[in-house]
Structures are given as C-alpha cells and as structure tokens.
Structure 1
Amino acid sequence: MTKLLSSRAAFGLGACALALSAPAAAQAADVNIYSSRQPALIQPLLDAFTKETGLTTATIFIEKGLEERIKAEGANSPADVVLTVDIGRLDATKQAGVLQPLEDAVIEKDIPAEFRDSGKEWSGVTSRARVVYASKERVGDEAITYESLADPKWKGKICIRSGQHQYNVALVAAYLAHHGEEATRTWLTGLRDNLASAPEGGDRDQARNIAAGQCDIAIGNTYYVGLMQNNEKEPEQKEWANAIKVILPTFENGGTHVNISGMGLAKNAPNRDNAVKFMEFLTTDEAQRIYAEVNYEYPLKPGVTLSETVKSFGELKPDTLSLSDIAANRAKASELVDEVGFDNGPKS
C-alpha cells in the first residue's frame, strides 16, 4: 500500500499549515518519504519494497523547499526518508540540519564511497551523466572534452539551459575543482560566447533546438534522452531524440561529470528502523535495476546491469572527483555564472 501526496498546491499556504497537515496524512504508513522526485519515477520502487517487506509507504512530493518544509515541522515531522536529486539539493538538506548520520554496513558495502557523504548524512542511489547532445547530421564522431566547449570552433553552435540551474552549477563546480577560479572564469566566458542564443528551457528543449537546426550541440543529462526515446505519449519527443546522439565528454584530467539521485535519514524519523530497511532496499540489486530502468539512470551498486537504452549511450567512465568537493564549490560556481553574464547569452 502506498499513499501519494503532493505539496505543490498547498505549498503557498505556508509552512505552519503544512506542518500541521503532514502528520495526519502520513500516520498510517510504515515509512514516510519526502521526495522531490516526480511520483512516477519512484512508484515502482515503492511497490517492490512493499511486496518484499510488507511495509507500507506514504510519499509527500515536494518539488521545491523540501528542507524548509522538514525544518518547519521540527520535532513533530513525520518524515522518515528524504529522496532528492543533485548534490546541491542533498548538501542543502544536510546544511539545513534536517538529516541524521547513518552508519550502515549494507549501504556502505553497496554504494561506493565517492557517492556517499563523508559525514554519513546522505548516500547516492543512482547516477546520471552531464553529457553532450550532438546533431547526427552535423557533428562527426570526434571526441569532445568539457574544456573544448569553449573552443571558438563551436561559436554560435551550442544550446544550454540556464547556467544557474542546479545541473549546470554542479558542472561548473566540478570544473572549478579541476582547474581553479581563473581558468573556470575564462572557460565560462568562452562557452557563453559559443552559445547560439541566451540560455532557456530545459534539457529536452535543447534536443528540440538541435532537431530544428538552431544549434549543433547541447549540454544535457543522459536520462532525458532515454525519456524522450521512449515517450509514447508525446511522439514529437521521439523525433527530437532521433535527431541527436550522446557524446560522453570528459575533463582533460578526469572522466565524465556525473551527479546523483540520493537519500538521507530524516533527523526526527518516527519510524527509524523501517526507514533504514527502505534505504537498504534501495541499494539491493532489484531496486537498483528498477530505479535505473524506469529512469534511464546508472546504478551505483557495482555489477547491476544497465538498461538497454543506457547501454546505447556508450561506456561511461565517471569522473573520480568527490561529490563533496563539487558541493563545496557550488557557491563560487554560481557567482561566476552571474559574473560573466552567462544567462544573457553571447557577447561577441
């Protein structure tokens, strides 16, 4: 049994009202999950967990302000487990003080250390790569590095969403960790001036722009390609996906930038033991396979088979840079995006 609640409509009523309403809604569940992930993306996991353990779940979907919500609820919060995406969101949840450390041998055995918080307050579940979407018609099989995106040969040929979006901030933060502030400022300026137009839309929109001939390459997450390729409800998205190929860029001194979906144990989890069982379930072979197949992401547990769609992207060699290092550079990365006027588009 799974209950699914959405806070988007209620969010504007204020944190106090939400704090009062959530406990009553979640009382009957064995595990209460606060999630920023779209409901359809996690439902198969919840069903599998209940089938295996007999434990029920209630999910409250909070698109924005997840950590603020839990903080406002305080000691009476019904939240047991937090599920979210991006190292920035995970770190923000940790910094808000709404998670508790968890030493767990199962999670530590299944999830590599570079995808876990050194303070044990969060762990990755799956990963996604920030890659290049390239026109099948206009771009050859050449290798592309993140550094080369600032090469003038791409002038007027790159599309991207806002530089301040969390996915791009994380990429810039990784660049900072590899190359330092001055080199990153120069790179951002060059990338900005290679844009076909000012950043806008989401990752799927960049594939649409390539299909329409507005640009030759774009930066996007791998899983959006899978979602487009297999979108039966919106066939035009299949056309966008068919117009592009995935190129797995690397840093010149590293691998391909990856980010994660992740989990954390809520600070005041009322059902702590059940919450830990759920978190351990998410690292099992079955859960890793389901999560990866439904969302076209990469399992973090070594040895779990990739979906056929994800295999088609090519062999991923993830950058070994610690996600904690990326999190530590996010504030400076955001500053540099604004400093160079990235979202205003090309200046030359």
Structure 2
Amino acid sequence: MSLSQKIKEIPHTPGVYLMKDSAGQVIYVGKSKQLRKRVQSYFRSSSTHTSKVRKLVKHIRDVEIMETDTEFEAFMLEWQLIQKIRPQYNRQMKTPEAFLYLTVRKIGKLYRIRMSTQPLRGDDGWSFGPYTNKKTVSRAIRGLKDVYRLQCSNPAINGSPCLNYSLGLCRGICLGGKAVGEYNEIVEQLASLLNGEDSSLLEDMQGQMTELAEELAFERAAQYRNYIQSLQSLLQKEEVMDFTEGNHVMVVAEQLQEEKVKLFLIRRTDVLFSEVFEVGSSESEDMLAKIKSQVWSWLNGVVSEAGAQVQQVSRYEIDKAQIIYSYLRSGKCRYAMISSNELDGLERMLERLIE
C-alpha cells in the first residue's frame, strides 16, 4: 500500500503517529486528537512549514499509527515513545540534560539570579525548576531586571556609578546605600512568588503595564506583557511540581461517548490502571465490580506509602507531570483524590465520577 493510500485510511481518532524513513527507522513521533487531519497536514502546502518540518517530510516513507481512547493517553504515549526511541527530529522531551533551574543565592551583600543545569544543594538559597524552556527562564530574569532597574554592571558596590546607572538601567546598586536593600527585597519577592507565597511582584508589574498602556506607550507595555507571561509560565511550572510532589493517588473518569467512560487510576506521574466500560448496560455492574476490584488491589499497595515521603519532581518526570496536571484542569475529565482513610468510600467515589 502506498503512503498516500495509507494516510487516507488513518482514522479520525486520538492517538500517536510514528514517521519512518526508507530504512524503517522512526524519525519523528507526534500526537493528535484527530490523527488523519494531523498527518495529512505534513503533506499539504509547505509554505507555512518550518525548515525542520520540510526536511522531515522529505525523509518520510512510512507512517505507523497507534490509536488511543483519549487525547490525554495520546500525550502520555507520545512522551513514553520519545523517551524510548529518541527520534532524530524530536527535540522537546528528548534531552532532559537541557532542563534548567533558576537559582537565587546571596553572594556578598547581593542576591544573584542565575540559570543552572543543577539545583543548589542544601539551604544555600533557592532553586526553582526544572524548566524545559531556556528562552522563558531567560526572559523572566531579563524582565525582572529591566522593570526594576537591577542591571548593575558593577555589583562590587565600591561607591562608583556603573555605566548602566548613567543609562538608567541600574537603580544605584553599585553606589551602595538603600538601593542594595531594594534590590534584595525585589529578589526576595521573586522567590516568594515562585514559592506560591506572595503574588505582589506580579501584581505590581501588571499595574505598571496597565499604566504604560494608558499613557499610550504600547511598545513598552507589550514588553511588560511578555515579561509577565514568562513569569506566569514559571509560576505554573512550580504549581505543577508542588502538586506532583504531593504523591497524590487519584481516580479519573472521562466521558468518551454518551454511555462510555474511560477510568484511570493515577499515582504521581504514573497511570497504574485504565479501562473503558459502558454505563447502564447489562454488563456494566459486572464491569464496574471488576474495575473496583482492580482499583482496590492497586490502592492497597500504593495509598499507604503515597504520602510517606515528599519526593522532588525529577527532570525525567516534569513533562509527564505537566501533561497530567493540565489534563486534570482541562475540564475534559472528573477526578477524585484518594487517601488511606477514604478506601471505604471508593465505591461511592467511583459511582459519583461516572454517573
């Protein structure tokens, strides 16, 4: 069967597609909630394609499809296959060594904000991350320094004004005095923001952006908007990691059709169990009993130890953690957290999720 004919027969379902070259090697893995539409898009007009996509298409000789019941499963399967196969044309989620941390540590009288491939050890400052987008981290740091004039080119604090001070980019940190305290206070506010303790820094930047827009300084307001979006992205990542570090066990249900439901049991970043069943059918009670039995066996083994120890999210987990966190908040599913003292209510919980 020709490649074009095979593409025409791809179903309109969620799933993962594997692009292969003439040697049968998988060179790209992707996912979509509508497989045929997504795969066909590669072979249409290339005017809007990036150079990477155009180069990829030249080498595609075959496509393999793996269907899933839900888009969530397609995301998870894509992640697993990329980790296993490491295709040539995949860049995201391929090299966890490229993940970054934003670190804050006091050196002398000043806090220093850095990007690092490793978190700080012990209590020597703060570490946030890992983050997967270097551009986002860099823009967030640059934005903080730009908005609050923290770009001192002579942080030795020797009483001599630096070049950036004369340009209006430094608030006088190099001169010492109250500017040093102001600088440190702003950096502490950044740490409080990313720790989820205080959002005043973000609110202040949003207020300044609004004032710039009212003054018709639209270009400068757009810069502030980009800075704010970068900070919000980092903040969301921290929320994902805080949620994941809770070692939650949860039951998740997604409606597939009018009477069909997909049920998942998820612990932390692992899907321990999943199955589709038909609600209201003659076999639904037996199916539900089977699911309860399987879920119960899993829970007996995992709930008791789920909260035993807080474990930081590793760089190998971060993408899975983001997928699960986004899914739970997407509105596409219903979920309930399980703890050891709720095992007796498992039956009621399952019935509530699928009713």
TM-score range, shorter chain: under 0.3
Higher RCO by CA contacts (8 Å cutoff, separation 6 or greater): 1
For the pair shown, the structure with the greater C-alpha radius of gyration is: 2
Length-normalised TM-score, structure 2: 0.27
